[in-house]
Structure 1
Amino acid sequence: MVVEVNGLGDLKSAAQKIIQFAGDEKIWVLNGSMGAGKTTLSKAICAELEVLDTVQSPTFSIVNEYLSAKDEVIYHFDFYRLEHPEEALNIGVEEYFDSGNLCLIEWPQKIGNLLPEKYLAINIEDLGENKRELTLTHHDER
């Protein structure tokens, strides 16, 4: 599925479409270049999921935990600063992924093969002038 975003005003609608397309999938991988809008999209998704906490990039903490108005826990990862996938193991990434809670993952390529076999891929292409093309794909290696 492809979702066009023609400015910040389209983020609410884009987040709604992603949530609907995801279905029961709990691992969401956000792929895109630096500045493509991964964190901005994560904020829009969290707003639609009624997150009560302030959503910000977990660049330095690696993972942020948010609570929604429905008492659902959402984990938001930013693996940009990792030097080796083993660092993700050191924070217990597998336990987070196995928790059954939604996991939003930025910079997934930094953790190598630690991603679960099944996830929702959200590929963000920067088209310039606040325009983005989001390509959503269910990934399942089984």
Structure 2
Amino acid sequence: MMEFVYTEKEIQTVAKKLIQEYPSKIIAFFAPMGAGKTTLIKALVKELGGVDEVSSPTFGLVNEYHDREGMPIAYHFDFYRLNDEMEALDFGVEDYFSSDAYIFMEWPEKIPSLLPDNCIHLKIDILEDTTRKITEI
């Protein structure tokens, strides 16, 4: 099982390792508020060659990020404000899962029965103010 302990200065290295180590492009991040999910996703999008500004899609549910040619390379979901899984289905989340782009999800515990079988489940723990630990669960 994979585990990384890192600080924000090392986050780009962790992003690179995650992309290299995991064959699936669908990653669910389980972590408490303030654990750095968006910061890590920002590093992942940068590692993939994304040119868009990365921010949490709290109100829009999903942000789309592109490479220099304008091709979508990642979709970033934040399910925090969902009331139930039907809202995700109505939004068309399953269509995104079948795309060829990376899928990064914050608060995936809001849609447990919708997560695809090939989804990587990663937990981020806060160890200290600037130190985090990622564990595959």
TM over 0.5, yes or no?
yes
Q: Quick one: distance in 2 between partners of 1:123 and 1:73?
A: 23
Please list every run of at least 4 consecutive aligned residues from structure 1 whose deviation after the TM superposition is greater than 2 angstroms: 69-73
CA-CA distance at 1:72 after TM superposition = 4.2
Q: Quick one: distance in 1 between partners of 2:68 and 2:134?
A: 27
Q: Quick one: distance in 2 between partners of 1:84 and 1:136?
A: 25
Q: Residue in 1 aligned with 2:92?
A: 92
Superposed CA offset, 1:53-100 (max 9, x none): 111000000000110236343100000000111000111000000112
CA-CA distance at 1:14 after TM superposition = 0.6
TM-score (norm 1): 0.90
Name the Cα RMSD after superposition.
1.2
Q: Which runs of 5+ in 2 are unaligned?
A: none
Q: Quick one: distance in 2 between partners of 1:17 and 1:31?
A: 18
Q: Quick one: distance in 1 between partners of 2:26 and 2:127?
A: 26
Q: Quick one: distance in 2 between partners of 1:21 and 1:30?
A: 16
Is 1:4 the counterpart of 2:5? The answer is: yes
On the 8 A contact 1:18/1:136 being kept in 2, the answer is: no
TM-score (norm 2): 0.93
Q: Quick one: distance in 2 between partners of 1:130 and 1:82?
A: 29
Aligned sequence identity (%):
43
Q: Residue in 2 aligned with 1:74?
A: 74
Q: Quick one: distance in 2 between partners of 1:75 and 1:47?
A: 13
SS in 2 for 1:15: helix
Instruction: State the number of aligned residues.
Output: 135
Q: Which runs of 5+ in 1 are unaligned?
A: 138-142
Q: Quick one: distance in 1 between partners of 2:47 and 2:32?
A: 24
SS in 1 for 2:39: helix
Question: Bigger shift: 117-126 or 64-73?
Answer: 64-73
